[in-house]
């Protein structure tokens, strides 16, 4: 048997076989890549605030935001690998993240600690809503493996919202 040459291998499609069908692969990949961009953007924003937070509650806020950043980052690889398992292509660069992300960056020189907590709380709430939208896309195509992962990520987003809300309560 003749082995394929380098050029043929380079041109080979990256489509992993899936029985969910081409439409499922396309729709779910698109929804998941948007989520992936959001998770990376929110990861870096949470790290940004972890690095730049200041004031009397520094230690608490610094540690809370690190915990939340770790949780966001841990989600990125499973999202990307779901896309590959469904035969789709996933993100390749920071540039692609910046074109797709719906989470807004905050490059301000100074943000008060309470504003940081409030902004992240809103971002995580929006992320939970985006996760629910992606869940509906996966459910439509019968992709129970992705829906079950997304359900866990919704719970995690809601936990982050809860902690950010309680930690940021005025007068607490
Ligand atoms: Fe750190």
Instruction: Specify the pLDDT at position 120.
Output: 98
What is the distance of C-alpha 69 from the center of its chain?
Answer: 11
Which residues have CB under 8 Å from 127's CB, separation 6+? 38, 39, 42, 103, 157
Quick one: pLDDT at residue 161? Answer: 98
Cα-to-centroid distance, 62 and ligand 1 (Å) = 8
Question: What per-residue confidence (pLDDT) applies to 10?
Answer: 66
* Tens of each residue's pLDDT in the chain, 172 residues: 566 676 666 666 777 888 888 899 999 999 999 999 999 999 999 999 999 999 999 999 999 999 999 999 999 999 999 999 999 999 999 999 999 999 999 999 999 999 999 999 999 999 999 999 999 999 999 999 999 999 999 999 999 999 999 999 975 4
The pLDDT of residue 108 is 98
Cα 81 to Cα 125: distance, rounded to the nearest angstrom: 24
What spacing in Å lies between the alpha carbon of 168 and ligand 1's midpoint? 20
Of 131, 132, 107, 130, residue with least CA distance to 119: 107
43: CA distance to ligand 1 center in Å? 12
């Amino acid at each position: 048997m003749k082995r394929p040459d380098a050029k043929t291998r380079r041109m080979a499609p990256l489509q992993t076989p899936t029985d969910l069908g081409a439409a499922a692969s396309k729709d779910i990949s698109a929804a998941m890549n948007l989520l992936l961009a959001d998770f990376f953007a929110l990861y870096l924003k949470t790290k940004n605030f972890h690095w730049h937070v200041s004031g009397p509650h520094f230690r608490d806020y610094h540690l809370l935001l690190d915990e939340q950043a770790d949780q966001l980052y841990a989600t990125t690889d499973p999202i990307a690998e779901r896309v590959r398992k469904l035969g789709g292509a996933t993100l390749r660069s920071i540039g692609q993240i910046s074109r797709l992300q719906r989470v807004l960056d905050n490059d301000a020189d100074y943000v008060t600690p309470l504003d940081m907590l409030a902004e992240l709380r809103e971002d995580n709430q929006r992320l939970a809503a985006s996760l629910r939208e992606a869940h509906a896309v996966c459910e439509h195509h019968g992709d129970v493996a992705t829906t079950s992962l997304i359900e866990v990520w919704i719970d995690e987003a809601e936990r982050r919202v809860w902690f950010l809300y309680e930690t940021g309560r005025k007068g607490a």
